Amino acid sequence: MPVSKFKIIAGLGNPGDKYVQTRHNIGFCAVEALASKNGLQFDKKRFDAQYVKARLCNQNVFFIKPMTYMNLSGHSIQKFAAYYQVNVSEIIIVHDDMDLEFGQIKVVKSRGHGGHNGVRSVINALGDKDFIRVRLGVGHPGTENKVTGHVLGKFTPDEIDSVNDLIEKASDACFHILEHGPSSAMNLFNTKS
């Protein structure tokens, strides 16, 4: 397959003020941080998403925040990918992950959704799982009946400093993937917390 003219970095989350600073929205936070570091703002709307286009590491990159709610995230990402002819392998998805300890980060490629509804939506919409994921550990509440409250809950005051570190690491990981590829990022960022 020819190399795409564009790459996509999409953060997963839910739109609306009530979801700001919730664990489920850490994907949004990470792409916002990466955009902000490069003097960019999410000032455009298309395909049910807020986005900004950038030139990073000599590549044209779309930063995307789907505004469809988490469980339908794949629709807007698929529309961008189809319209701009972006190969699935050139897409980076940044999202919260309860299977990782709080504060841990893991870069993976071509993996299943692991029960994450946003990632499931992306796989279903693209018809392929050959994209890169930056998984951000938000910890597990311990029991299944507490999961929804956990991911939709806000970070505690004690967690805020660690969250900011995690968001910073996530934006660094995305930049590293663009510059050096996913395998190098895995070697650098996939460490135990």
- What is the tens place of the pLDDT at every residue in 81-94? 999 999 999 999 99
**Amino acid (one-letter) located at 36:** S
Is 161 within a domain? yes
Is 101 within a domain? yes
Neighbours of 104 (CB within 10 A): 20
Is 34 within a domain? yes
Is 16 within a domain? yes
Is 1 within a domain? no
What CA–CA distance (Å, rounded) separates 64 from 62? 6
Is 21 within a domain? yes
Q: Which residue has the tokens 């469809």?
A: 68
Kindly report the average pLDDT of the chain as a whole number.
93
pLDDT, position 158: 85
Q: What is the mean pLDDT of the segment spanning 30-45?
A: 94
pLDDT, position 160: 84
Q: pLDDT > 90: what percent of the chain? A: 82
pLDDT, position 1: 62
CATH number at residue 17: 3.40.50.1470
Is 38 within a domain? yes
Q: What is the mean pLDDT of the segment spanning 125-135?
A: 97
Q: pLDDT > 70: what percent of the chain? A: 98
> Which domain does 172 fall in, by range?
6-189
| Model pTM score | 0.95
Neighbours of 108 (CB within 10 A): 18
Is 148 within a domain? yes
Q: Is the pLDDT of residue 171 over 80?
A: yes
Q: Which residues are catalytic?
A: 24
pLDDT category at 52 given cuts 50, 70, 90 is: very high
Give the largest CA-CA distance in the chain.
47
Considering its fold, how many domains does the chain have in total? 1
pLDDT category at 192 given cuts 50, 70, 90 is: low
Q: Is the pLDDT of residue 193 over 60?
A: no
pLDDT, position 19: 94
pLDDT, position 83: 96
pLDDT category at 57 given cuts 50, 70, 90 is: confident
What CA–CA distance (Å, rounded) separates 127 from 142? 32
Give the CA dihedral 137, 127, 44, 60, nearest 10 degrees: 90
pLDDT, position 7: 96
pLDDT, position 178: 94
Q: What is the mean pLDDT of the segment spanning 127-156?
A: 92
What CA–CA distance (Å, rounded) separates 161 from 86? 35
